[in-house]
A and B are shown apart, each in its own frame.
Chain A
Amino acid sequence: MKKNLLILLSLFLISLFAYTNAWAVREGGSFVFCAPYGGDVFSLDMHRTGNTQDYIVGLNIHRSLYKWDASQNKPVPELATEIKTTDGGQTYIVTLRKNIKFHNGRGMTADDIIYSYNRIMNPKTASSATAYVKPIKGAADVQAGKATAISGLSKIDDYTLKIEMENPTELGYLLYKIETAIIPKEEVVSKGERFGSAPVGCGPFKFSKWVKGSEIVLEKFDDYYEEGRPYLDKLVYKIMPEGSARDMSFRAKELDANLLGGAQYQVYQKDPELSGNMVEVAEMYTRLVGFNMNYKPFTDKRVRQAFNYALNSELIIKKLLKNKAFRATSFLPSTSPAFNPKLAPYEYNVEKAKKLMAEAGYADGFDLEIIGTNSQSYGVRVIEAIIPFLKKINIRVKPQQLEGGMLSQRLIKGDYQAFIWSLESGPDPLVALNRFDSKTLPSAGNYVAYSNPEFDKYLDLARKTGNQTQKLVYLTKADAFLHADAPLWFFNYNKAIIAYQPWVHGIKPVAIEMMLQDFTNLWLDETSPRANVK
């Protein structure tokens, strides 16, 4: 009996030890991350930049009303303790946290939210976030210069705010965007244009230093509103657009985490040391070839379908992209709430493709110029790989490589036969599908000039319903139309991978954009070479 007790006691002690160990988060240290996309970091004034690189850094300086919760894969309230709607998304009552401070020490109130949203809509700001604030009642009037303040925003008291919408809307999907960050008016006024290079926010890290074109250093903000957070003392972003250079830095243990390209993914998977420390996610970007619906052969649905049947997408993903992609079914990605898992992707079936081509009167095929950039995963490189497949159904492909600016110009003008690109397809499926509404002009993103009244109808239904479940049903139907009409070759959804060093704890799979990593809860154990860097 005594012996049993002893065993029990030791078991208890062991489990206690294991328990505390698992939760023994460690404070301090410096985390070195990368800003991996081409181009530089331009401005840290989130309202006034459209550059994803800027958001990657800004996300840890700034805070928005909501934030993206990677584990639940949806937006959740951040600056508020509660955000309530009683009428299906027409009116919201926001109860703010009372302990939020900006980096200059001042407490945040409802006025700051009103100020920030008004600043976004002010035409002088020319903000890239207008689309997210516009659904608030009266916001469009401010943008048009007809009003000076958004009528749908009203302060009840310092920590309570009423938001009225134009139509029933899910507020979280709009205001989680870091582009809608809440910023202090006095800093914007006093710094003027310099606010973008010395930003003040209310996030876990405050801005410290910026070596333009090379690196940005952030420091822990001691008065951050989440108790005991962030764990890190310092956060460094290195501007590293070259994949191979990042790989070198990561192997030299100078980078704590790194976004992987296809070539590195393949190598890291085989490496026993590296393969355990990777986080993968299906990002909400759909890689595709868009067909110009005004180009004669593509006016026939069967030709577009034949294109889809003729390509062995799985093989291309496996061999060319080194499995760094998920096969696409339709436009909406598998991480989208309106994704239909029952819908099957176009199979690889050359005979069927040939038959469809013959039925459409193109048994002898046609010449096709496909424009694209030099992107590794959605550029001319992919087109080179599909040439032999399409040759079998007599589509003679001629790729034309272009620089990004020239490509976008031709897409907007509809001046192409087909293009290869990557388009945002989430998180809000309504926003994603709105691109293909027949009322959306090519200059607003409907590059392929897709038009189907049935599709439009379901989109309209989804817009008007206040019921979220019903909305998703409509959108799933709309997506199915897109699938059947095939205005695109549904190639893949990007698989984004971050590899991290063994001492890093807390990298998350962020489906909206993998690099948008919030480091509030990230910590380093003592094996990190920078564990004690202040």
Chain B
Amino acid sequence: MKALYRYFRKRINLFLGGVLVLFFISVAVFAPVISPYHPVDDANLMVSEQPPDTEFWFGTDSQGRDILSRVIYGSRISLSIGLVTQLINTFIGVILGVTAGFFGRWWDDLIMGFTNIMLSIPSLVFALAIMAVLGPGLVNVFIALGLTNWAYTCRIARSQVLSVKSIEYVRAAKALGYGQTRIMFEQILPNILGPILVISTLGIAYAILLEASLSFLGLGTQPPNPSWGGMLANAREQFFTAYWISIFPGIAIFLTVLGFNLLGDGLRDVLDPHSVLNNK
């Protein structure tokens, strides 16, 4: 019993994070079953901007729609945007960043030049261009968000590789004649995993919030369909008069990102062979 307690106590992050993430994923999956109202069709101006009460737990928005139902349905779009774009970002960013830092020379120069370009183009211009060329649509949001933010991950990965590369044991591995791929994945990657996990899990918040600025340009989720970022952004003017319109999607974003962060930390502790968990 005590052992079980200690087992969980040590993996509290993983456990809590897992629960939160699972909760939101199931909310997204079962949205039609659990939401009390339809997020779009049940608009009723007669009850617009009602504060939270027993009928509308989270209150209603300016068009008289149930915010709870909109937060529930919004999880579908916001979660998928957060996850998919971060997966794209991290995948591209880590591969290019690690190789750039590891091989250096012309490859590093090329990748650095490329990231400089990506990081300098204002995302607004990039998003407008995608909207103009490809038009609206969810896939294009993934492209816009997934392809703009990888450069950041890439640079962080590279800088970590640079600082780890020169450390004794990596040099030892080299001296032992380990293959380059093996050094990269067995020696370097595990040791830079921490910052990468942090960036990609926090990045989920960025992606969810950024999606709102894309819908404002016509690229993201289009109203009346709900997304957390969009609900937040559209309630700007009502911030002080009807706080509930923006506070609940805000809390949803916070809990989701917290969940992924806890999960990330927990995973790192479990996966990392050198982790404190296995050490003590």
How many angstroms from the CA of A231 to the CA of B234 in the assembled complex?
Answer: 41
Interface of B is mostly: loop
Q: Are A381 and B41 in contact (CB under 8 A)?
A: no
Residues in chain B near residue A398, CB distance under 8 A: 222
Is residue A279 within 8 Å, beta carbon to beta carbon, of the partner chain?
no
Q: Are B217 and A381 in contact (CB under 8 A)?
A: no
Interface residue from A242, A387, A401 paired with B40 (Cβ < 8 Å):
A387
Q: Are B237 and A376 in contact (CB under 8 A)?
A: yes
Q: Are B48 and A320 in contact (CB under 8 A)?
A: yes
Q: Are A384 and B131 in contact (CB under 8 A)?
A: no
How many angstroms from the CA of A320 to the CA of B64 in the assembled complex?
Answer: 9
Q: Which residues of A contact B (CB under 8 A)?
A: 242-244, 247, 261-264, 266-267, 312, 315-316, 319-320, 374, 376, 380-381, 383-385, 387-388, 391, 398-403, 406
Of residues 229 to 249 in B, which have CB atoms within 8 Å of A's CB atoms? Answer: 234, 236-242
Residues in chain B near residue A376, CB distance under 8 A: 237
A42 vs chain B, min Cβ distance (A): 19
Given contacts A319-B45, A380-B223, A388-B44, contact A266 B241 (CB under 8 A): yes
Q: Are A401 and B237 in contact (CB under 8 A)?
A: no
- Return the chain B residue nearest A315 by Cβ: B45
- Return the chain B residue nearest A407 by Cβ: B218
Interface residue from B40, B48, B234, B242 paired with A374 (Cβ < 8 Å):
B234
Q: Are A263 and B43 in contact (CB under 8 A)?
A: no
A49 vs chain B, min Cβ distance (A): 24
* Supplied contacts A320-B45, A380-B223, 6 more A-B pairs, CB within 8 Å: A320-B62, A381-B63, A384-B223, A388-B44, A401-B222, A403-B216
How many angstroms from the CA of A41 to the CA of B4 in the assembled complex?
Answer: 66
Q: Are B216 and A385 in contact (CB under 8 A)?
A: no
Interface 1/0 per residue, B239-278 and A, CB below 8 Å: 1111000000000000000000000000000000000000
Interface residue from B45, B222, B237 paired with A243 (Cβ < 8 Å):
B237
- Return the chain B residue nearest A374 by Cβ: B216
Q: Are A400 and B218 in contact (CB under 8 A)?
A: yes
Q: Are B237 and A385 in contact (CB under 8 A)?
A: no
- Return the chain B residue nearest A405 by Cβ: B128
Q: Are B62 and A381 in contact (CB under 8 A)?
A: yes
Q: Are B241 and A316 in contact (CB under 8 A)?
A: no
Given contacts A262-B237, A385-B45, contact A403 B128 (CB under 8 A): yes
Is residue B3 within 8 Å, beta carbon to beta carbon, of the partner chain?
no
Interface residue from A262, A315, A399 paired with B224 (Cβ < 8 Å):
A399
Interface residue from B45, B222, B237 paired with A399 (Cβ < 8 Å):
B222
Q: Could you pull out 28 A-B pairs where Cβ atoms are within 8 angstroms?
A: A242-B236, A243-B236, A263-B240, A263-B242, A264-B241, A266-B241, A315-B46, A316-B45, A319-B45, A319-B46, A319-B48, A320-B63, A384-B43, A384-B63, A384-B223, A384-B224, A385-B64, A387-B43, A387-B224, A388-B41, A400-B136, A400-B222, A401-B218, A402-B217, A403-B217, A403-B218, A406-B131, A406-B218
Q: Are B41 and A244 in contact (CB under 8 A)?
A: no
Of residues 182 to 218 in B, which have CB atoms within 8 Å of A's CB atoms? Answer: 215-218
Residues in chain A near residue B48, CB distance under 8 A: 319-320
**Which 5 interchain pairs have the tightest Cβ spacing?**
A319-B45, A402-B218, A263-B237, A319-B48, A384-B224
B212 vs chain A, min Cβ distance (A): 10
Is residue B132 within 8 Å, beta carbon to beta carbon, of the partner chain?
yes
- Return the chain A residue nearest B230 by Cβ: A401
Interface residue from B41, B216, B236, B240 paired with A401 (Cβ < 8 Å):
B216
Residues in chain A near residue B237, CB distance under 8 A: 243-244, 261-264, 376
Q: Are B240 and A247 in contact (CB under 8 A)?
A: yes
The residue among A315, A319, A320, A399 with the most chain B CB atoms within 10 A of its own CB is: A319
Q: Which residues of B contact A (CB under 8 A)?
A: 40-41, 43-46, 48-49, 62-64, 128, 131-132, 136, 215-218, 222-224, 234, 236-242
The residue among A261, A312, A380, A384 with the most chain B CB atoms within 10 A of its own CB is: A384
Q: Are A399 and B240 in contact (CB under 8 A)?
A: no
How many angstroms from the CA of A312 to the CA of B46 in the assembled complex?
Answer: 11
Residues in chain A near residue B63, CB distance under 8 A: 320, 381, 384-385
Q: Are B223 and A244 in contact (CB under 8 A)?
A: no
How many angstroms from the CA of A383 to the CA of B236 in the assembled complex?
Answer: 18
How many angstroms from the CA of A315 to the CA of B223 in the assembled complex?
Answer: 21
Q: Are B43 and A385 in contact (CB under 8 A)?
A: yes
Residues in chain A near residue B44, CB distance under 8 A: 388
Residues in chain B near residue A266, CB distance under 8 A: 241
Residues in chain A near residue B46, CB distance under 8 A: 315, 319
Residues in chain A near residue B40, CB distance under 8 A: 387
- Return the chain A residue nearest B135 by Cβ: A400
Q: Are B234 and A381 in contact (CB under 8 A)?
A: yes
Given contacts A319-B64, A384-B224, contact A244 B240 (CB under 8 A): yes
Residues in chain B near residue A319, CB distance under 8 A: 45-46, 48-49, 62, 64
- Return the chain A residue nearest B216 by Cβ: A374
The residue among A315, A374, A401 with the most chain B CB atoms within 10 A of its own CB is: A401
B59 vs chain A, min Cβ distance (A): 14
B216 vs chain A, min Cβ distance (A): 5
Q: Are B45 and A267 in contact (CB under 8 A)?
A: no
Q: Are A391 and B238 in contact (CB under 8 A)?
A: no
B236 vs chain A, min Cβ distance (A): 7
How many angstroms from the CA of A247 to the CA of B241 in the assembled complex?
Answer: 12
Residues in chain B near residue A316, CB distance under 8 A: 45
How many angstroms from the CA of A199 to the CA of B9 in the assembled complex?
Answer: 71
Q: Are A399 and B216 in contact (CB under 8 A)?
A: no
Residues in chain B near residue A381, CB distance under 8 A: 62-63, 223, 234
Residues in chain B near residue A244, CB distance under 8 A: 236-237, 239-240
How many angstroms from the CA of A60 to the CA of B278 in the assembled complex?
Answer: 74
A36 vs chain B, min Cβ distance (A): 13
The residue among B40, B237, B238 with the most chain A CB atoms within 10 A of its own CB is: B237
Q: Are A399 and B241 in contact (CB under 8 A)?
A: no
Q: Are A401 and B215 in contact (CB under 8 A)?
A: yes
A409 vs chain B, min Cβ distance (A): 10
Q: Are A399 and B223 in contact (CB under 8 A)?
A: yes
How many angstroms from the CA of A68 to the CA of B216 in the assembled complex?
Answer: 36
Residues in chain A near residue B217, CB distance under 8 A: 401-403
How many angstroms from the CA of A266 to the CA of B237 in the assembled complex?
Answer: 12
How many angstroms from the CA of A400 to the CA of B217 in the assembled complex?
Answer: 10
